[in-house]
């Protein structure tokens, strides 16, 4: 995860400009700790800069993702909506099928599995994406129990 003070250097190294619009989107993503889709990022940015366009948001997200500053996640069970967050240390996501709540978690077991796989197959695992779906503690009481289990 790049530190905020390293971001200008990342852009300079790659020959890209850190424009005011890119700075604005970085501020929006940094200040909001939720998993935002592009339209929500656009809405939040437009409050500060009415001239920003949705196309600029999409282009900027693509650049930020390519530079490893932002991570893209598919958090909904249907995998249709992309969400974005600032790159962070390894963590994973659980999405409640009932209320849509996204819970971030860490797991030494997943890290261990990546390490073992890398050792056994001589791989370089850059990162793991794990998205679990189910029912959160609040919704578990409301959801019918599945006979199949997880």
Domain boundaries, the chain: 1-87, 89-150
CB 83 within 8 A of CB 75: yes
Domain 1-87 shares a fold with domain 89-150: no
Spatial distance between the Cα atoms of 104 and 131, rounded to a whole number of angstroms: 9
Task: Domain 89-150: state its class.
Answer: alpha beta
User: The tokens of 41 are what?
Assistant: 């990022």
Residue ranges in the chain whose pLDDT is less than 50 = none
Any idea how long the chain is? 150
Backbone phi, then psi, for 53, in 5-degree steps? Answer: -110, 160
Choose which CATH entry (3.40.50.1980, 1.25.40.20, 1.10.10.10, 1.10.150.450) describes domain 1-87: 1.10.10.10
pLDDT at residue 47 in the model: 96
CB 82 within 8 A of CB 66: no
pTM of the predicted protein model: 0.63
The DSSP call for residue 5 is: G
């Amino acid at each position: 995860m790049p530190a905020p003070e390293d971001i200008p250097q990342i852009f300079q190294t790659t020959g890209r400009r850190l424009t005011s619009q890119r700075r604005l989107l970085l501020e929006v993503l940094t200040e909001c700790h939720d998993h935002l889709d592009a339209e929500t990022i656009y809405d939040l940015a437009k409050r500060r800069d009415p001239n920003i366009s949705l196309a600029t948001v999409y282009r900027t997200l693509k650049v930020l993702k390519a530079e490893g500053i932002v991570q893209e996640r598919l958090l909904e069970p249907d995998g249709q909506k992309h969400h974005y967050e600032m790159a962070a240390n390894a963590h994973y996501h659980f999405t409640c099928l009932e209320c849509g709540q996204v819970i971030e978690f860490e797991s030494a077991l997943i890290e261990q599995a990546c390490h073992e796989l890398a050792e056994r197959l001589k791989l370089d695992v850059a990162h793991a994406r794990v998205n679990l779906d189910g029912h959160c503690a609040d919704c578990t009481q409301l959801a019918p129990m599945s006979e199949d289990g997880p």
